[in-house]
Chains A and B, each alone.
Chain A
Amino acid sequence: MSNVLAVAHKELKSYFASPIAYIVLGFFALMYGFFFYSLLLYFDRQGMQGGPAVNVNEQLIRPVFLNATVIFLFVLPMVTMRTYAEEKRSGTMELLLTAPLTDLQIILGKFLGAMGLFVSMLALSLVHMGVVFWKGNPEVMPVVTTYLGLILMGGCFVSLGLLISSLTKNQIVAGMATFGVFLMLWVINWIASFAGPTMQAVLNYLSITDHLDDFTKGIIDTKHVVYYVSFITFGLFLTARSVDTERWRG
């Protein structure tokens, strides 16, 4: 465990030693702030017009977070693209693989390091949430479950990003490929309504965003937890296989 933390600490430190962490945090702060502001204006107008009782959870917090997930699509490839590609290109992979560490410790360390940056990014949104709780009176549970769902979803993206980064020496290739795969998982259920019943279920199940919906409503359904956790585990498992294959190929 101490080895995992050593690698995680190094990863996190190198994000902050390079411009990546600041670009990621800055971009998120900007985009999230904009989403929050525009949806707040919209919510405000609905409140002014009267009509059915407005619900701050349903009509502000939930749409803000669902919109914010699109930011992950752009920033997470930047976070994960260098994890393995950079180590392979600069030769530091040789340091890690000849140190008394297991492959699993290295992978988990890298996963935790990237998740650390992801969670710090997510933490920026606590400021806006603070304002909502200060001025309004939303329910706490849906907010907590939303954060849980977002962390699980981010974990899926990170594990997939690690896998793709472990397949190449080129960061740009890793970044673009990761973005492409993320986008595909994002939109895969768009064609669901045109597919047959079985295919429809499969496509909806594969869609990474579809599983977030219940979390934003304050529901923790084991079905979705299992989906996310198995997605993460499978991604990390394939990364381990990929690193091992690389060893044999040299």
Chain B
Amino acid sequence: MIEVEHLTKRYGPFTAVNDVSFTVEKGEILGFLGPNGAGKTTTMRVLTGYMPATEGRARVAGFDVVDQPIEAKRRTGYLPETPPLYTDMTVRDYLTFCARIKGVGRGERAARVNAAMERTRVADMAERHCGKLSKGYRQRVGLAQALLSNPEVLILDEPTAGLDPKQIIETRKLIKELAGDHTVVLSTHILPEVSQTCQRVVIINKGKVVAVDTPDNLTSRLRGSESLFMQVDSRGEDAAATLGGLDGVTGVTVTEVKDGLTALEVASLTGRDIRSELAAAVVGRGWGLLELRPMRMSLEDVFLTLTTVEADAPATTTEAA
């Protein structure tokens, strides 16, 4: 539904986006993750036809954003970083104007405006001037604007910024509902948001894509192998040696020995679940199994690893994979 190929955007000598490529399938929610100034907004602005790229191409719903901008824009709903509201218009007038320039027919306009206001829960402010709204309402009126023409593609630049916790939950729920019929690209720097709403993540840093994957894969992939944390009461015997000999175990590290309890990290081959074997081995020896849990990097760790390590970060990722 969205294809981005070797996209590069330079502002004078500064390269904001450097050779970015990715695709988004129909009905998918793609999270765009990166620190401030990573090039998220610039990429989104290119996708929406707000600005042309210096190099590379972007296609939305099969239409090139530079060669067929009107067709591409007709199929895109966009919520910019700052909701683009006319402060002296009422919410209803504003949305009606937006519907009109988005080509919603005269007969349908009122119904579409009402539906969008219902969905984003701003109907109670319909007759209020946009300039008098709180940040949370502005954000949601901006979202209503993006939904108006029922576009195939939604591009949302930090859709939950400025919302209170309850509104954040509602908005995430709304975005999840939208997926399926709509293809959604959303940017954020709130990590739990990505793991909760997105099916796939693009991590971008300093204008370059450093990783594209599902949130789950990203967290396991970066460790290279599956790791389990165990706490065993081995009654004085050498737990590490016994467990290390098991089939599928690639390494055992003793992290702590305290009061007769041994804490271990057991690494295994990727894709192989050895939890039951481990448990059986421990119990078979008559030891006590006090804890057994998979160790995962949180998305936060992944993000920090990928974005704080300098240029060699992508290389590490590929190796690990």
Which A residues form the contact surface with B (CB < 8 A)?
3, 6-7, 9-10, 13-14, 17-18, 90-102, 247-250
Contact = CB atoms under 8 A, between A and B. Distances in A.
Given A17-B89, A92-B84, A249-B11, A98 B50 contact: yes
Which residue, A7, A10, A96, A249, has most C-beta atoms of chain B within 10 A? A10
A13 B93 contact: yes
Interface in B89-113: 89, 93, 97-98, 100-103
B80 interface: yes
B112 to A, nearest CB: 15
Contact of B101 (A6, A13, A90, A247): A6
Contact of A90 (B9, B87, B93): B87
Given A17-B89, A249-B11, A250-B45, A94 B50 contact: yes
A17 B100 contact: no
Contact of A98 (B11, B42, B49, B97): B49
Report the contact-size class of chain B (Cβ under 8 Å from the partner): 20 to 34
A102 B70 contact: yes
Given A13-B89, A17-B88, A247-B52, A94 B100 contact: no
16 contacts: A10-B97, A90-B86, A90-B87, A91-B81, A91-B84, A92-B84, A93-B84, A94-B45, A95-B80, A95-B84, A98-B50, A98-B78, A99-B73, A247-B52, A249-B11, A250-B42
Given A248-B52, A250-B51, A101 B101 contact: yes
Contact of A99 (B71, B83, B102): B102
Interface in B65-88: 70-71, 73-74, 76, 78, 80-88
Nearest to B84: A95
Nearest to A14: B88
B103 A18 contact: no
Contacts of B70: 100-102
Interface string B281-305: 0000000000000000000000000
Top 6 closest pairs, chain A to chain B, by CB: A95-B84, A17-B88, A91-B82, A100-B73, A98-B48, A100-B74
Contacts of A92: 84-86
Nearest to B129: A17
Interface string B117-159: 0000000000000000000000000000100000000000000
A130 to B, nearest CB: 33
A157 B319 CA distance: 64
Contacts of A14: 86, 88-89
Which residue, B42, B102, B145, has most C-beta atoms of chain A within 10 A? B102
Nearest to B12: A249
B86 A250 contact: no
A216 B82 CA distance: 49
B101 A99 contact: yes
Contacts of A17: 88-89
Given A14-B89, A98-B78, A247 B50 contact: yes
Contact of B98 (A9, A91, A95): A95
Dominant SS at the A interface? Answer: helix
A100 B102 contact: yes
A9 B98 CA distance: 12
Contacts of B102: 99-100
A178 to B, nearest CB: 21
A250 B9 CA distance: 10
A248 B101 contact: no
Contacts of B88: 14, 17-18
Contact of B103 (A93, A100, A247, A250): A100
A93 to B, nearest CB: 8
Contacts of B45: 94, 250
Given A6-B97, A95-B145, A250-B42, A90 B84 contact: yes
B51 A99 contact: no
A14 B131 CA distance: 13
A94 B82 CA distance: 9
Given A97-B50, A98-B76, A7 B84 contact: no
Given A17-B88, A92-B85, A6 B11 contact: no
A10 B80 CA distance: 20
Contacts of B9: 250
Contacts of B71: 100
Nearest to B45: A250
A220 B47 CA distance: 50
Nearest to B47: A98
Contacts of B50: 94, 97-98, 247
A32 B283 CA distance: 101
A99 B98 contact: yes
Which residue, B80, B93, B101, has most C-beta atoms of chain A within 10 A? B101
